[in-house]
Amino acid sequence: MRSIAARGEHIAIGTATDPYQPAEGEFGVTREILEEMSRYDGLSVSITTKSNRVTRDLDLLQRIASRSDLTVNLTITTPRPRLARLLEPRAPRPDLRFEAVRALREGGIDAGVFAMPVLPGITDREEDLERLVFLAREAGAQWFAANVLFLMPSSRKQFLPFLEKKFPRLARRYHQWYARAGYAPETYRREIGERIGNLRRKYGLAARPAPRAPRGAPAAQQLDLGLAGAATAPGGDRRK
């Protein structure tokens, strides 16, 4: 058995790029990483993906979860398949991602849904957001989180031309909102936050995974304060 000391570090897979891109089917890099993680105790790991391919690795996820703290987030931004295909042309359909949540939960894995980003005027309709939260609850999701679109200058160069072509009626608003800052106006962000909060309460979902100590982590040890007598470390070693 291999173990590591728990120092509070967290391993977040999928924050920069999706770990289950189509190339994963050929190269299996993510699976190799998970295989290595499954050999350790006391890790804290999260996986964020738009792909239902994550269920391929359910056996490894179960092995990791039995020894460490593991959560999986499925990113689903709209319940409408045609809109999803336009916004995320290479990602699996929303229903397949909800089924992945269900499969993970039935396999004993802590899982939730990320509606990120919320696109103003495109994916922020109240009925669509409620449908997302409802379907998340029906799939067994434990949490539901959402953030409004944040546009870095590099992303803005790619996204705004797409918007002007596919959603020309919204182009002026986006240019006004994102011309000088990466964030939408605070009033809008607060409105979406309140709407999501109300929906979470209605459907009984948390905002984020519940914090917990990593499974298999070594128990905290009392420090030697240099008082009379020597403390005995695990394994019988004497500390001077």
Q: For residue range 3-44, what is the model confidence (pLDDT) as tens digits?
A: 444 456 899 999 989 999 999 999 999 999 999 999 999 999
Question: What pLDDT is recorded for position 179?
Answer: 87
Q: What is the mean pLDDT of the chain?
A: 88
Query: For residues 175 and 146, is the Cβ–Cβ distance under 8 A?
Result: no
Stronger pLDDT, 217 or 153, i.e. the higher one: 153
- β partners of residue 110: 71
CA distance 221 to 155: 47
Same domain? For 162 and 74 the reply is no
Stronger pLDDT, 3 or 227, i.e. the higher one: 3
CA distance 198 to 190: 12
Assigned token pair, 45: 């790991």
Question: What pLDDT is recorded for position 9?
Answer: 85
DSSP 158-190: HHHHHHHHH-GGGHHHHHHHHSS-SB--HHHHH
What single DSSP character describes residue 232? B
Same domain? For 92 and 168 the reply is no
Range of the domain at 192: 2-149+186-203
> Do the domain assignments include residue 65?
yes
Question: What pLDDT is recorded for position 16?
Answer: 87
Same domain? For 26 and 94 the reply is yes
**Is the pLDDT score of 122 beyond 90?**
yes
Question: What pLDDT is recorded for position 210?
Answer: 80
Please give the tally of structural domains in the chain.
Answer: 2
Place of tokens 């409004």: 148
SS3 of residue 73 by DSSP: strand
Pairing relationship of beta strands 69-75 and 44-49 according to DSSP bridges: parallel
Question: What pLDDT is recorded for position 180?
Answer: 87
- Tens of pLDDT, residues 171-198: 999 999 998 889 999 999 999 999 999 9
**Is the pLDDT score of 239 beyond 70?**
no
